[in-house]
Amino acid sequence: MSASREVIERIKKLRETINYHNYRYYVLNQPVISDYEYDILLKELIDLEKKYPELVTPDSPTQKVGGKPAEGFLPVEHTPPMLSLDNTYSEEEIISFHNRVKKALGEESSYTLELKIDGVAVSLVYSDFILVKASTRGNGRIGDEITQNIKTIRSVPLRLITDDRRLKNLEVRGEVFMPKEAFVELNKEREKNGLPLFANPRNASAGSLKLLDPKEVAKRNLDIIIHTVPQSIEGIDSHFSMLKILNKAGLKTSSHTRYCKTIEDVLKYRLEWENKRKNLPYEVDGIVIKIDKFSHQRELSSTDKSPRWAIAYKYPAEQATTRVVDIVPQVGRTGIITPVAVLEPVFLSGSTISRATLHNADEIARKDIRIGDNVFIEKGGEVIPEVIKSIPEARTGKEKVFEMPERCPSCGSKIVRYEGEIAYRCINAGCPSQVKGRIIHFAARNAMDIEGFGEKLVNVLVDKELVKNYADIYFLKKEDLLPLERMAEKSVNNLLNAIEKSKGRSFDRVLFALGIREIGSHTAKLLASHFQIMKRLQNAKYEELLQISEIGPAAAESIIKFFSDHENRMIIKRLKEAGVNMGKEEKKETPKPLFGKTFVLTGTLSKYARDDVTRLIENLGGRVSSSVSSNTDFVVVGESPGSKYEKAKELGVKTISEEEFIEMMSNIKMQNSK
Ligand SMILES: [Zn+2]
């Protein structure tokens, strides 16, 4: 079917409109239409492009996700090279930079001050206003081409929204980063799925940009801030005015950037952000001081390594020193063995720390951390404490090099390391540590939520061989439990009741509880709503799984592998026999009175647990978001609310107390039951 002129015009108009709203939403954070209206526009465009595939262009907003997985990354040469900045660590060094510059220029210069985001440097090339190439910094001269991955970042415009001819062919450089909250969520999800954790948001960003499948990158919630244009542009004579022009053209620049004229103002900015940066949604580890005038920049020029017209100042990290008492290998639920440092307890950023992750054996070797070493540990934001480096000067000679044991500390079977993998694993499915881990996961609050069925009890039950897998939980008898320590008649009854109650948990929770690798609670929901009953999921083919949006090859493979395992099938059969919910086919739609409504929770709720509130809202068709925007409908405010409450007031979003929320829910329930 060939498209009429009306269709071509409509598609063009839709793209412009959607690009504009993307800009309002992701770059300026000032949306002017609701998510719902936006979705309708996007849907119309998707439908038209499906009908007329020949009209799809690379800059269409539909092309943000959906590229094919890459085989690898092609090299890209940077001209001019992407230099790194010299770092400074004190006020004196900033002042001496100022004096050096003043002397070289023979006059005072003005500055542009930027926050230094702890992310990954990238280059974006626009040709004819369209994003055509994006690459990592690499070694500064040659990086990797990651265009498809960069396109998935929502604040990256695929087409500049300007007709300024000077910007027609443009290279910009900036920093890709993962917001703190997205980082915490990602690690939580990875922990649940038995995948190795990222040490910090920067590593997570770098790792995400190097994923081969753009669909996976799209899930990582990366963001970008543009801060540099490597070429000169006619009529623009200062860095600060350049940034403003970029922002108007649709590129995301930082709203915290400041222009100033004196060194005193530079020092004030440094001081001002030392604490304020901790409230930002992303990691900032310093400030960048740039000479503002391009003529001055050219005069000062660059060395081989770094420009002479800019420096970075880095805030001191929150570190402490302590001693590594031991390094113990821990076996997780999926068999990955993580070395953990046992530390002499030390107080750091508000908490006492006695354990820190060492990630993996390669990291230990790279950092040369030995048992008995004095070490620096660091904790940033909500990041797990990490051992940064050892202090070799303090060694006595009694320190011991850690060696990954040849056999699993839990079951004694041989540890393996697959080719190309960093992690060491115990691959014995019957390994007690893994068995325990799987059962703990199964009974956990966000899974089957069996009250009283925690780590301690699981350890006892597995050690006494009363439970060998999670299906056994449902065949426990009173006489099994009564002889156990601290198990009186009443607590045994409570436990058995809790076990009984868990049989009715929703199907998606049951799926999540199975502990299939790569299947977090979100994916479990997708699977549950697609397949509705266990049997259908069990028999699903790889291709069918891939057709579900958001399910990638890794998850699909993992599902197939899980259900083709004989033992797993037996366990599921027994769960079914016990009466655990195996899903049912939905006949009628339950009413969704909260459809389209977005809630944000802040502070401590006294009557409900957060998980429960979230489930309640989702069951009624609403959505719970982790951050407040002008699209938020309600902010539920509990005891001692955080910054979200302030944000809500600032944006004029409706706030309700816990009592009001409960009342709202009971009103809805009454209406539903009518
Ligand atoms: Zn083992």
Q: What's the pLDDT score for residue 90?
A: 86
Half-sphere exposure (Cβ direction) of 419: Cα atoms closer than 13 Å? 0
Name the CATH topology of 86-314: D-amino Acid Aminotransferase; Chain A, domain 1 (3.30.470)
Q: Describe the strand order of the beta sheet including 86-88 as a list of residue ranges.
A: 86-88, 310-314, 284-291, 111-117, 258-260
Res. 60 pLDDT band, cuts 50 70 90: confident
Non-local CB neighbours of 102 within 8 Å, separated by 6+ positions:
108, 109
Q: What's the pLDDT score for residue 557?
A: 92
Does residue 175 have a pLDDT over 90?
yes
Q: What's the pLDDT score for residue 316?
A: 76
Contacts of 503-508 with CB under 8 Å at 24 or more apart are: 503/474, 503/578, 503/579, 503/580, 503/581, 504/581, 505/448, 505/449, 505/580, 505/581, 506/581, 507/532, 507/533, 507/534, 507/581, 507/582, 507/583, 507/584
Distance 223 CA to ligand 1 centre (A): 39
Distance 191 CA to ligand 1 centre (A): 18
Distance 425 CA to ligand 1 centre (A): 8
Return the percentage of the chain with pLDDT > 70, whole number.
96
Distance 476 CA to ligand 1 centre (A): 25
Q: What's the pLDDT score for residue 349?
A: 63
Taking each helix axis as running N to C, give the angle between helix 263-276 and helix 91-105, from 0 to 180 degrees, rounded to the nearest 10.
150
pLDDT one-digit tens code per residue, 571-591: 999 999 999 999 987 665 566
Does residue 1 have a pLDDT over 70?
no
Res. 381 pLDDT band, cuts 50 70 90: very low
Domain 319-401 CATH class label: mainly beta
Does residue 348 have a pLDDT over 80?
no
Q: What's the pLDDT score for residue 315?
A: 84
Domain 5-64 CATH class label: mainly alpha
85, 311 in Cβ contact below 8 A? yes
Strands 623-625 and 598-602: parallel
Distance 516 CA to ligand 1 centre (A): 18
Which helix (H) or strand (E) segment holds residue 617: the answer is helix 610-619
Res. 351 pLDDT band, cuts 50 70 90: low
Helices (H) then strands (E): counts for the chain: 24, 24
Does residue 66 have a pLDDT over 60?
no
**Average pLDDT value for residue range 418-444:** 89
Res. 535 pLDDT band, cuts 50 70 90: very high
ipTM of predicted assembly, 2 dp: 0.99
Q: Measure the CA–CA gap between 456 and 216, rounded to whole angstroms.
A: 36
Which of 102-106, 329-333, 379-383 is predicted with the least confidence, judged by mean pLDDT? 379-383
Return the percentage of the chain with pLDDT > 90, whole number.
51
386, 379 in Cβ contact below 8 A? yes
Domain boundaries, the chain: 5-64, 86-314, 319-401, 432-578, 598-673
pLDDT one-digit tens code per residue, 91-107: 999 999 999 999 999 99
**Average pLDDT value for residue range 96-121:** 94
Q: Which two tokens stand for residue 448?
A: 């089957």
Distance 454 CA to ligand 1 centre (A): 21
Name the CATH topology of 598-673: Rossmann fold (3.40.50)
Does residue 65 have a pLDDT over 70?
no
Non-local CB neighbours of 213 within 8 Å, separated by 6+ positions:
69, 70, 552, 553
**Average pLDDT value for residue range 228-256:** 95
Distance 388 CA to ligand 1 centre (A): 29
- Closest-CA residue to 120 (of 91, 159, 153, 88): 153
**Average pLDDT value for residue range 477-481:** 92
What phi-psi label fits residue 323: left (phi over 0), alpha (psi between -120 and 50 degrees) or beta? beta
Phi, psi of 311 (to 5 degrees): -140, 160
Distance 445 CA to ligand 1 centre (A): 25
Q: What's the pLDDT score for residue 668?
A: 76
Residue with tokens 């390094």: 327
Distance 429 CA to ligand 1 centre (A): 8
Res. 288 pLDDT band, cuts 50 70 90: very high
Report the mean per-residue pLDDT for the chain: 88
**Residues designated catalytic:** 116
Maximal C-alpha separation, the chain: 90
Does residue 382 have a pLDDT over 50?
no
pLDDT one-digit tens code per residue, 600-627: 988 888 777 788 788 888 878 888 888 8
- Closest-CA residue to 421 (of 360, 496, 492, 358): 360
Secondary structure E strands in 167-283:
170-177, 223-228, 258-260
User: What CATH number does the domain located at 432-578 have?
Assistant: 1.10.150.20
Q: Measure the CA–CA gap between 537 and 530, rounded to whole angstroms.
A: 9
